[in-house]
């Protein structure tokens, strides 16, 4: 059976309350999984890295889809063998490829995510690329969600073969205003991302939009509510306007699904439900580094531990490591303090950074961390970030990294 | 009629040239999609717009009109305009 971070939570909703402020930890698995799979999606294709039990040797499998822009490559944690890849090329339209044998063979989705045809005389939207793939929880074995650019939310009920627009959010007039136009989005298009299914309740969903804020549904997408209280926006703009909110990456803690962490355009935040107010925990980051970045990674068993990878968000937003000195940062106390984790990383003149989907954790003990850079390097740590080592180099620009145990 | 397929789409057709039928370019693309599922969406978006770098030629003449009438003796060339890095 596959072992995944999401499957480590099996209790029913609301059944695991602990004293306020108490760290919530779940025990490490007694028997370690036999293999770790690291999935790397790049601007020019995808690669799979099969690690041994000690994560010391890796067998590379790839490239898959050489020349395709692969924005995300995800393993289905519910069966441990189905992979979905969100792909397009610079010239051909977007699609989703599916493998049911861990990448030995691939088949294209019969119906990839696409907006409905607009009525005559109206200008309809077209999916430029699928950006984010998210499996539902264990109670819905064949259900997947996808977020696209421009922002759209899609769902598949058959394991990723056929995709349909999900809920009314894609066409909701208010949401369309909050989504903004292409000019309001990131340089390579506005994105829907961070689609999260509560592991206790498949009707409880979150998604985020760059830009357009974080949103929550308690009724399987029938209605959505913005969840932006406490989040800051760029100076001079009104935080009450959802359009101005730019969450970069939101993660739910597998060991405590009531806790979420967020890396935002304007800082690092934590949210403890049922509160609706995000708390800016990035203020405790070193001032010379700041708390701007893209990825957000949570510990599979400890809801007080999370990692970020800051980037330079000054002036024209170079999107490089601050001062050319890349480093992850970890908090072990829910954001009260942060420690720099740069052992093994370049000590000077390293001007790459890490995109929002390009950093991940496995579920082993100690946790393995993996990140891919904009310069095509893949790095790993076997000890939760204490020491880093290069795992692969000379890849195309890395868009996404995922880790799973199989 | 004979249809020239650009190299990035050979993974669908397996061939450089294929046969397909249609009274219009739109019909031809629908027939191609029946024969090679998924092919059309890589070239035409969900709003029936030609994708940015895909070009269609009928008997050597470029057309942007999916309603362009075709006859069985026509030849159709689909071209991917290479660009970027």
Whole-angstrom Cα distance, residue A106 to residue A68?
14
Structural Rg of chain A based on CA atoms: 20
CATH number, position B41: 3.10.20.30
Q: Which residues of A touch B38 (CB under 8 A)?
A: 95, 108-110, 112
Q: Would you state the pLDDT for residue A187?
A: 75
Grouping H, G, I as helix, E, B as strand and the rest as coil, residue B35 is helix
Whole-angstrom Cα distance, residue A138 to residue A368?
23
* Segments of chain A scoring below 70 in pLDDT: 1-23, 28-33, 185
Beta partners for residue B19, in sequence order: B2
Whole-angstrom Cα distance, residue A197 to residue A276?
17
Q: Which residues of B touch A110 (CB under 8 A)?
A: 37-38
Q: Contact A126/B9, CB-based, under 8 Å? A: no
**Is residue A88 within 8 Å of residue B38, measured between CB atoms?**
no
Q: Is A127 on the interface with B (CB under 8 A)?
A: yes
Specify the pTM: 0.92
| All domains in chain A, ordered by first residue | 68-114+126-245 (2.130.10.10), 264-406 (2.130.10.10)
ipTM for the complex? 0.91
Quote the minimal CA–CA distance from B83 to chain A in Å.
8
Q: Is A164 on the interface with B (CB under 8 A)?
A: no
Q: Is residue B42 part of a domain?
A: yes
| Chain B: residue whose CA lies nearest to A68 | B8
* Domain with B10 in it: 2-80
What are the distances in angstroms from CA A11 to CA A16, A31, A76, A260, A405? 7, 21, 20, 18, 21
Determine how many CB atoms are found less than 10 A away from the CB of residue A54. Answer: 10
Q: Is A89 on the interface with B (CB under 8 A)?
A: yes
Among B12, B37, B47, the residue to mutate for chain A (most A Cβ within 10 A) = B47
Q: What share of residues in chain B are helix, strand, coil (percent, to 5)?
A: 25, 30, 45
Q: Is residue B19 part of a domain?
A: yes
Determine how many CB atoms are found less than 10 A away from the CB of residue B80. Answer: 20
Whole-angstrom Cα distance, residue A320 to residue A323?
8
Closest CA to A384 of A301, A281, A288: A301
Length of chain A: 406
Q: Is B63 on the interface with A (CB under 8 A)?
A: no
Q: Contact A124/B46, CB-based, under 8 Å? A: yes
| Chain A: residue whose CA lies nearest to B54 | A91
Written as six digits, the tokens of A261 are 């962490």
Whole-angstrom Cα distance, residue A8 to residue A78?
12
Q: Is residue B76 part of a domain?
A: yes
Quote the minimal CA–CA distance from B54 to chain A in Å.
7
Q: Would you state the pLDDT for residue A29?
A: 64
Q: Is residue B15 part of a domain?
A: yes
Q: Would you state the pLDDT for residue A23?
A: 60
Q: Contact A117/B84, CB-based, under 8 Å? A: no
Whole-angstrom Cα distance, residue A11 to residue B53?
51
Q: Contact A91/B48, CB-based, under 8 Å? A: no
Q: Would you state the pLDDT for residue A1?
A: 30
Tokens 């995709």: give the residue: A163
Tokens 């099969």: give the residue: A50
Q: Would you state the pLDDT for residue A22?
A: 55
Q: Would you state the pLDDT for residue A319?
A: 85
Mention every residue, 6+ apart, whose C-beta is less than 8 A from residue A170.
Answer: A115, A151, A152, A153
Dihedrals phi, psi of A7, to nearest 5 degrees: -75, -10
Query: How many domains would you assign to chain B?
Result: 1
Q: Is residue B50 part of a domain?
A: yes
Whole-angstrom Cα distance, residue A302 to residue A279?
19
Quote the minimal CA–CA distance from A322 to chain B in Å.
27
Q: Is residue B85 part of a domain?
A: no
Q: Would you state the pLDDT for residue A53?
A: 84
Q: Is residue B6 part of a domain?
A: yes
Dihedrals phi, psi of A168, to nearest 5 degrees: -90, 5
Cross-chain CB nearest to B49 (options A92, A114, A126)? A126
Q: Would you state the pLDDT for residue A142?
A: 96
Q: Would you state the pLDDT for residue A128?
A: 96
* Segments of chain B scoring below 70 in pLDDT: 82-85
Q: Would you state the pLDDT for residue A251?
A: 98
Q: Would you state the pLDDT for residue A30?
A: 58
């Amino acid at each position: 059976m596959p072992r995944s971070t999401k499957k480590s939570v099996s209790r029913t909703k609301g059944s695991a309350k602990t004293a306020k402020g108490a760290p919530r930890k779940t025990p490490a698995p007694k028997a370690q999984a036999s293999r770790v799979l690291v999935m790397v999606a790049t601007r020019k294709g995808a690669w799979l890295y099969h690690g041994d039990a000690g994560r010391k040797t890796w067998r590379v499998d790839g490239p898959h889809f050489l020349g395709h822009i692969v924005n995300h490559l995800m393993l289905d944690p519910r069966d441990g063998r189905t992979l979905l890849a969100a792909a397009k090329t610079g010239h051909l339209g977007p699609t989703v490829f599916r493998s049911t044998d861990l990448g030995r063979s691939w088949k294209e989705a019969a119906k990839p995510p696409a907006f409905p045809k607009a009525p005559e005389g109206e200008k309809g939207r077209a999916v430029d690329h699928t950006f984010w793939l998210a499996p539902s929880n264990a109670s819905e074995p064949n259900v997947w969600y996808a977020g696209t650019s421009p922002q759209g939310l899609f769902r598949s009920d058959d394991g990723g073969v056929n995709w349909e627009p999900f809920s009314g959010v894609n066409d909701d007039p208010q949401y369309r205003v909050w989504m903004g136009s292409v000019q309001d989005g990131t340089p390579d298009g506005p994105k829907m991302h961070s689609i999260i299914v509560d592991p206790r309740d498949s009707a409880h969903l979150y998604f985020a939009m760059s830009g357009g804020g974080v949103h929550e549904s308690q009724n399987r997408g029938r209605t959505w509510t913005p969840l932006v209280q406490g989040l800051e926006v760029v100076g001079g703009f009104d935080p009450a306007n959802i359009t101005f909110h730019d969450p970069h990456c939101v993660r739910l803690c597998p060991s405590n699904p009531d806790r979420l962490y967020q890396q935002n355009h304007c800082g690092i935040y934590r949210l403890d439900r049922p509160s609706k107010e995000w708390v800016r925990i990035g203020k405790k980051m070193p001032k010379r580094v700041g708390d701007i970045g893209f990825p957000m990674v949570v510990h599979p068993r400890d809801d007080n531990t999370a990692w970020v990878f800051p980037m330079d968000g000054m002036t024209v937003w170079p999107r490089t490591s601050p001062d050319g000195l890349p480093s992850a940062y970890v908090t072990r106390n829910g954001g009260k303090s942060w420690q720099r984790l740069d052992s093994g990383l370049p000590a000077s003149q390293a001007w790459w950074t890490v995109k929002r989907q390009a950093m991940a954790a496995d579920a082993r003990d100690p946790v393995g961390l993996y990140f891919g850079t904009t310069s095509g390097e893949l790095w790993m740590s076997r000890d939760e970030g204490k020491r880093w080592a290069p795992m692969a180099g000379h890849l195309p620009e890395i868009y996404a990294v995922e880790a799973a145990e199989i | 009629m004979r249809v020239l397929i650009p190299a990035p789409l050979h993974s669908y057709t397996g061939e450089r040239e294929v046969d397909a039928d249609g009274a219009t370019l739109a019909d031809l693309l629908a027939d191609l999609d029946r024969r090679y599922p998924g092919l059309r969406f890589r070239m035409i978006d969900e709003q029936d717009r030609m994708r940015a770098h895909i070009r269609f030629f009928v008997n050597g003449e470029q057309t942007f009109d999916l309603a362009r009438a075709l006859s069985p003796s026509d030849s159709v060339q689909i071209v991917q305009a290479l660009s970027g890095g």
